[in-house]
Amino acid sequence: MTVTTNPAEGTASAGAITTRRVAAGALDPHALRADFPILRREINGHPLVFLDSASTSQKPDVVIDTVSDYYRAYNANVHRGIYTIGEEATAAYEAARAKVARFVNAPDSHEIVFTRNATEAINLVSYSWGRRNIGRSDTIVLTEMEHHANLVPWQILVQEKDGDLEFIPITDDGILRLDVFEVLLRLKPKLVAFTHVSNTLGTINPVREMVELAHAAGALVLVDGAQAVPHLPVDVQELGCDFYAFSGHKMLGPMGSGALWARRELLEAMPPFLAGGEMIREVHLRRSDFNDVPWKFEAGTPAVGDAIGLGVAADYLDGLGMAAVRQHERELVAYALETLGREVPGIELYGPMDPDLRGGVIPFNLPGIHPHDVAQVLDRSGIAVRAGHHCTMPLHERLDLAATARASFSVYSTTEDIDALVIGLVEVQQVFGE
């Protein structure tokens, strides 16, 4: 695919994007696979079957070319150069911020802070907002299904401040117990922080309802959107939350890109997270004035090319239509749950069995075979799945599981990928004589 770059507007556009949608608004994964060069690779003599998109997604040509084009044509630092390529880089960087803001329907692009990933976005909130607002005996409510990125920063904070953590439990099939949440809210927590979509079980949490309950109890709400923004329509205004964190590399964007959205008045009241260049307006030997938001939170030289690539990834997904992306992944989930359950003897599947309640993530185990062995044997056939605790050790403890294997999808995933997984798993069982 050829990429037209217009750094002055901060756009690199892929002409073919809109052709990837077929008439009824549905998404054609077979057609758009051509945009992802890595999917043409063979592994051990087999076509790559990439079923680890929850870990990181693959990148379309348009994103790869945009990043490469930045380095080839207008690599320069931002907000500094009074020369052409510096101005081009700055314009493209700020245009990317506007694209990302539009993608999650932020009311103001200055409410988007570029970070390296969701982890950094959550740490920004825990260090900046958290250290100013959480004190002795204050409570933060989390859930049992959090990724370590939305757990460990809060552990560190409450240990430092002598505060408390409480957890919304889950049912055995991975649904949050909202009845218990309502009881926990009587503790008047300062913050409720939870994942929009579970990276391990796939559960899609009822964000809006939870935000309403939390706000009625006086708490602010942080949503970890790392597994939602790439897979379903996200509108931060409709969700009503206060902070929303996500990673660029899981949404077809470059590694090292991510963002925090937060309401402007919160960002303005928050002290800087990291300090140094870029985040200041004036510096004297003994004191400094800080920059406006969002730059106050972007100390040092940012990952300019990665941010620009993230903007293009957002455009790419927008071109597909996030409702169509969600519909596609919902169909894959339904197909996978049904086919795996029917064709792979004894397979254990975890998480909600209703595809309406679940994103494109399928954790499973083959009884008697360690998930690492499952993943290793599948790799012989070019099938990539993740095995382990998926950065949710407490959730695995809750479910009494040492580890799981996990297949996860993205826009380019197909039912043929799932068929290959089914055949691969039956072979794994043969290898281990099960």
Ligand X SMILES: Cc1ncc(COP(=O)(O)O)c(C=O)c1O
List of residues 6+ apart from 353 with CB closer than 8 A = 173, 337
SS3 85: helix
The residue type of 345 is: P
Taking the least distance from each CB to ligand X, the nearer of 5 and 119 is 119
- What minimum distance in Å lies between the beta carbon of 73 and ligand X? 28
- The phi, psi pair for 145, rounded to 5°, reads -105, 15
Taking the least distance from each CB to ligand X, the nearer of 187 and 322 is 322
Taking the least distance from each CB to ligand X, the nearer of 56 and 429 is 56
> Quick check: is 241 catalytic?
no
- What minimum distance in Å lies between the beta carbon of 230 and ligand X? 10
- What minimum distance in Å lies between the beta carbon of 147 and ligand X? 4
Binding site for ligand X (CB under 6 A): 54, 117-119, 147, 149-150, 195, 199, 224, 226-227, 247, 391
Count CA atoms closer than 13 A to 321's CA, side-chain side: 16
Query: Among candidates 66, 51, 9, which has minimal Cα distance to 304?
Result: 66
SS3 346: coil
DSSP 8-state code for residue 126:
I
CA angle at residue 255 from 249 to 258, to 5 degrees? 60
Taking the least distance from each CB to ligand X, the nearer of 241 and 428 is 241
- Residue from 85, 391, 401, 422 carrying the catalytic annotation: 391
- What minimum distance in Å lies between the beta carbon of 99 and ligand X? 19
Taking the least distance from each CB to ligand X, the nearer of 151 and 213 is 151
Query: Among candidates 303, 404, 310, 385, which has minimal Cα distance to 53?
Result: 385
CB 384 within 8 A of CB 52: yes
CB 247 within 8 A of CB 219: no
- What minimum distance in Å lies between the beta carbon of 24 and ligand X? 31
Catalytic residues: 391
